[in-house]
A = this chain, B = another copy of it.
Amino acid sequence: MPHTMSRPPVNPPTLADVAERAGVSRQTVSNAVNNPDLLREDTLRRVQQAIAELGYLPNRAARNLRTRASHLIGLPIKAAEEGTANAAMDRFVHSLVDSSREAGYHVLLFSGTRTGKAEDELPAYDDLLRSTAVDAFVVTDTYLGNPQAAWLHQRRAPFVAFGRPWNDDAARHPWVDVDGAAGADMATSHLIERGHHRIAWIGWRKDSLLGEDRRAGWSRAMRSRDIPTAGLASRVEDTVASGKEASAVLLDEAQPSAFVCASDTLAMGVLHTLAERGLRAGQDVAVTGFDDSQVAQTVPPGLTSVRLPLEEVAIEVVKALEGLLHTPPVVTPGVLLTPTLVVRGSS
């Protein structure tokens, strides 16, 4: 009497299965997969057919064990802060996954503890390294004082940074970054071309080197046209509330007709101030942001913003990783990419 029975899960075919079917040795199948040039043409075809017929795919764990590699790239993720407009990570992660796949790697996400403090992440890096769970890391915050870069270097762990080793001349690791000064310059020049003269800057506190870089772009654009900048700059925390306050103060004290902001978050703060005062963004006062977040894309009337070429960043990061993981390792120099300006209704 037949009855429904659950099929036992069949183990996937192994190298040995393929070898038997093709009438060759295990090693030959292995070569067919990894070094096809070593095989005679007809043997290769025979093996490939056996592989196709059985639907063979090498077992990752076995390969990893033998080759002492995991073909995984570790990417730490920080909690996206609530109330900010920083959606850049999302786009970058996706690009990185795509680029990695083309290079034969997958991306493994991890986080330290829930605290979010940088030091707390080190044990997580350490565990992944020691258990050979990942081959390399991609790190994203490389300001000085961030222990990760130095720690990884000392550990001789392969890693590529998205972000310059700002003030660490001793850093010898590959990095990829976006020219923030160029971005701010583009935004500022764009506003000047639109006839603005009194253009204010709202950026981050002075200890943010990334912020100072962007700020340099604003002052460069102004100075190259002999436009005074005195009293037009403000440096605050990266929150909407700070942007709101700073812009209110600037409007009262310096009467700017336009704002260039170091982030979309700050730019949103400016929009808050404008809304409160009944000023129309883009018509009464121009505003530009940074990062081209979803916020910039959707807020009325559209926020002009500097867009980071995250797809290219990911490609360069993976290139650098491939160099590091190559034998012998090839340490690529830093790469600096140029952002673009997306003009919308706010300017």
On A, residues with C-beta under 8 Å from B are: 9, 12, 55, 57-62, 64-65, 68, 70, 72, 77, 79-80, 82-87, 89-91, 93-94, 97-98, 101, 106-111, 114, 127, 130-133, 156, 240, 265, 268, 271-272, 274-276, 293-295, 297-301
Contacts and interface: CB of A to CB of B under 8 A. Distances in A.
28 contacts: A9-B156, A12-B130, A58-B131, A59-B65, A59-B131, A59-B132, A60-B64, A60-B70, A62-B65, A64-B64, A65-B65, A77-B93, A77-B94, A80-B94, A84-B294, A84-B297, A85-B295, A87-B90, A97-B109, A97-B111, A106-B108, A107-B108, A107-B109, A240-B297, A268-B298, A268-B300, A276-B300, A293-B294
B111 A101 contact: yes
B77 A97 contact: yes
Given A130-B55, A300-B272, A91 B80 contact: yes
Contacts of A301: 272, 275
Q: Chain A: interface secondary structure?
A: mixed
Contacts of A57: 127, 130-131
Nearest to A74: B106
Contact of A86 (B109, B114, B265, B294): B294
A111 B94 contact: yes
A100 to B, nearest CB: 9
Contact of A97 (B110, B265, B275): B110
